[in-house]
């Protein structure tokens, strides 16, 4: 199921890059399949990861859309596939990558004398490398239990 989740993340990231919107169909398929998976593996371990996605949704409301709601919905749907530790790792790593990308945009803008105030960043594209690493590494994340 993790490979299916990565496929959903890939589709959502491509949609985020191309259209600046995360497809509702991708979110529905990912969330629906994730809930079925969580029901078969036990809900308790998955519910602990939901606050990360719900927090992004609240930030989206607070920033009036500067942080996309699709990012929060996708992270919430991801909680049905991943453990809470993996969700927080995914969020922290994605934020780190997006910070580096944002800093690069600003520095390039300064270097070339351009205004970067209206530049946007597809967050799910930053989430993709971290998600791929989680899926490819498999169950090798016992060290993440340090964070819980």
* Whole-Å CA distances, 26 to 16, 17, 80, 115: 11, 14, 15, 33
Q: What is the pTM of this model?
A: 0.84
Contact assessment for residue 30 and residue 74, using Cβ atoms and an 8 Å cutoff:
yes
DSSP class per residue in 63-86? TTTSS-HHHHHHHHHHTTTS-HHH
The 10s digit of each residue's pLDDT in 16-61 is: 999 988 989 999 999 999 999 999 988 887 888 888 889 989 998 9
**Does residue 130 carry a pLDDT above 60?**
yes
Report whether 124 contacts 22 (CB < 8 A). Answer: yes
Average pLDDT across the chain, whole number:
87
């Amino acid at each position: 199921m993790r490979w299916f989740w990565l496929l959903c993340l890939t589709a959502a990231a491509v949609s985020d890059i191309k259209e600046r919107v995360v497809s509702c169909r991708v979110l529905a398929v990912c969330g629906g399949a994730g809930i079925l998976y969580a029901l078969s593996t036990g809900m308790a371990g998955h519910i602990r990861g939901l606050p990360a996605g719900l927090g992004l949704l609240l930030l989206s409301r607070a920033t009036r859309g500067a942080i996309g709601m699709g990012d929060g919905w996708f992270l919430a749907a991801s909680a049905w596939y991943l453990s809470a530790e993996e969700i927080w790792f995914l969020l922290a790593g994605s934020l780190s990558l997006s910070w580096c990308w944002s800093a690069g945009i600003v520095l390039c803008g300064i270097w070339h004398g351009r205004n970067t105030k209206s530049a946007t960043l597809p967050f799910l594209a930053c989430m993709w490398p971290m998600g791929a690493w989680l899926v490819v590494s498999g169950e090798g994340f016992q060290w993440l239990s340090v964070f819980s």
